[in-house]
Structure formats: structure tokens, C-alpha cells
């Protein structure tokens, strides 16, 4: 981190463009409360999105409050996920294929840099921030969570 009192992150809000944000250290010397505030609750890592470059945190209770209003981004399987045999999170019955819907993130996401030597979060780099914007900054991406949520709801309804 450039300054031990702040942490530069990227927030990916539901229904909006990713943006940079500076978090302040709390009275315990931690950024946990700031990260939790970004996602609206307890955090959990979502390493399946970018691995560690950047690290992504989501609200661990996001699925409990899943709705059209909280559907943020659809996560589609990458070639790496397919090659590694990631199990489909939609039905757990098969390994995903590249481009297939893997998951839907509900609620805001927050991205930070990760230092593998210390195991700690660090400021997000410009390169990592560009990765976030490339993947999550288009209108198609912004709408993807809601679109896939509706698609799944209609399929379930049609199946009766």
C-alpha cells in the first residue's frame, strides 16, 4: 500500500459503472469495515472472478437476499475455468464450458490488489483497475446480472 492509512479499491455497484474509492483505516488498523461497507455486509472472497489480480470481495449473504433489484453481474466461465473443471454453480451437474453462465453476483463487489508475499490486500493498480473496467464497465455487463436472473426465472416458470 502506498499509504498504510488508506486503501485504493474499485467498487462495482449493482446497476452502475465501476469506480475508484479510497478507504480509510479503522481504529483497529484494519480496512475490514470499509470493505464491508462497500458490499453492504460481511465479505467473502470471490477468487473465481479474477484470481488474485485483483482480488474480489462480495457480500457473503448476497444469495440470501437475491432478487432482481440486487442482481449485479453475471459471471461467465472463462477458458481457464473450463480447463480446470469448475463445476457449474447453476445446477452442479457438469463442468462448465467457456462462455456458459457460471454464477450471478448479488449486491456490490469491491476489488483490491493482493500481495502474495504478505497475503494482505494492497492498493489496486492501474492495470488491475483497467481489467475491472474491461470486464464490468460495459452496458452489457451492467445489465447482465438482471438479464440472467430473469432468464433463469422464466426457465423455472416454464418448467412448471
Which sign, positive or negative, has the C-alpha torsion 124, 65, 100, 154? Answer: negative
Question: Whole-prediction pTM value?
Answer: 0.91
pLDDT score for 2: 46
Asked if the bond preceding 16 is cis, omega within 30° of 0, the reply is no
Q: Please state which of the ranges 2-11, 24-33, 117-126 shows the lowest mean pLDDT.
A: 2-11
DSSP 117: T
- With beta carbons less than 8 A apart as the criterion, state whether 88 and 100 touch: yes
Q: pLDDT tens, 119-134? A: 889 999 999 999 999 9
pLDDT score for 3: 54
- 122: exposed, middle or buried (Cβ count in 10 Å: 0-12, 13-18, 19+): middle
Position 151 pLDDT exceeds 50: yes
Q: pLDDT tens, 99-114? A: 999 999 999 999 999 9
Amino acid at each position: 500500500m502506498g499509504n498504510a492509512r488508506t486503501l485504493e479499491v474499485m467498487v462495482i455497484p449493482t446497476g452502475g459503472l465501476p469506480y475508484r474509492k479510497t478507504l480509510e483505516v479503522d481504529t483497529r488498523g484494519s480496512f475490514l469495515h470499509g470493505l464491508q461497507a462497500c458490499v453492504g455486509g460481511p465479505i467473502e472472497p470471490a477468487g473465481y472472478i479474477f484470481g488474485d489480480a485483483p482480488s474480489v470481495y462480495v457480500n457473503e449473504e448476497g444469495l440470501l437476499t437475491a432478487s432482481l433489484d440486487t442482481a449485479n453481474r453475471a459471471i461467465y466461465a472463462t477458458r481457464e475455468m473450463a480447463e480446470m473443471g469448475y463445476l457449474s454453480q447453476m445446477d452442479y451437474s457438469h463442468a462448465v464450458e467457456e462462455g456458459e453462465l457460471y454464477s450471478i453476483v448479488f449486491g456490490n463487489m469491491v476489488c483490491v490488489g493482493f500481495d502474495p508475499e504478505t497475503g494482505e490486500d494492497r492498493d489496486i493498480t492501474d492495470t488491475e483497475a483497467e481489467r475491472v473496467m474491461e470486464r464490468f464497465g460495459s452496458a452489457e455487463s451492467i445489465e447482465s446480472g438482471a438479464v440472467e436472473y430473469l432468464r433463469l426465472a422464466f426457465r423455472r416458470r416454464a418448467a412448471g
